[in-house]
């Protein structure tokens, strides 16, 4: 189960939302300030965060911006007692998954939390995949990287050999090494693996 956090400077809101969430079978850890949350939680781990916008010190928008900058996989649902369309748009542009006005409707909140958990798990999986691909790429030699780029461009071994001014047999050996290190069996799998990865 993805951890669920709530950050709001109003203790009554913390208590009532925690009570509501427990009634839904969800455990929630509450914090009364953004800096307390940052000191207590590993923001690189997957989680869902219900975050109040207006708070003293670091407000919700600043915390949201920070999470976005560090590429946190935490999915954020913003809460406010006095929302405007401009505020909602700003939060969504900063990476919030959704924007709710207080008092919060329990059924709507449950739906959004379910979506947020799925979103977080997808982001976590994607981030881990990107990290894994980067680690595989790091094992390639400079020459293997050049050969891989030729493969991805759809070039035949003899063309790559001519461009790099080395024997075709050497290209074939490099090609095998590339496939082995990238953990794929053919050029199509390699292209699919790297389709959304910048290297």
> 140-194, which class in CATH?
mainly alpha
The yes-or-no verdict on residue 63 having pLDDT over 70 is yes
The distance of Cα 33 from the centroid of its chain, to the nearest Å, equals 23
Q: What is the pLDDT of residues 20-57, one digit of tens each?
A: 999 999 989 999 999 999 999 999 999 999 999 999 99
Give the pLDDT confidence score for residue 196 in this predicted structure.
Answer: 67
The pTM (predicted TM-score) of the whole model is 0.71
Indicate the domain borders of the chain.
Answer: 4-134, 140-194
> Residue 95 contacts by C-beta under 8 Å, 6 or more apart in sequence?
64, 67, 68, 76
Give the pLDDT confidence score for residue 111 in this predicted structure.
Answer: 93
Provide φ and ψ at 83, rounded to 5°: -85, 150
Say which CATH superfamily domain 4-134 falls into: Response regulator (3.40.50.2300)
Nearest to 116 by CA among 28, 16, 12, 39: 28
């Amino acid at each position: 189960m993805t951890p669920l956090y709530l950050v709001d400077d109003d203790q009554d809101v913390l208590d009532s939302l925690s009570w509501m969430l427990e009634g839904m079978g969800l455990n929630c850890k509450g914090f009364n300030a953004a800096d307390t949350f940052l000191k207590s939680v590993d923001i690189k781990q997957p989680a869902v965060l219900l975050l109040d916008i207006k708070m003293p010190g670091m407000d919700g928008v600043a915390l949201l911006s920070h999470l976005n900058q560090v590429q946190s996989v935490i999915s954020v649902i913003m809460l406010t007692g006095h929302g405007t369309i401009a505020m909602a748009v700003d939060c969504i542009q900063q990476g919030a998954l959704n924007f709710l006005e207080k008092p919060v409707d329990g059924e709507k909140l449950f739906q959004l939390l379910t979506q947020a958990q799925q979103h977080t798990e997808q982001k976590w999986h994607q981030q881990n995949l990107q990290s894994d691909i980067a680690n595989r790429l790091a094992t390639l030699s400079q020459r293997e990287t050049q050969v891989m780029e030729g493969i991805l461009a759809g070039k035949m071994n003899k063309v790559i050999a001519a461009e790099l001014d080395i024997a075709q047999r050497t290209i074939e050996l490099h090609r095998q090494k590339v496939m082995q290190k990238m953990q794929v069996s053919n050029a199509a799998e390699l292209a699919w693996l790297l389709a959304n990865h910048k290297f």
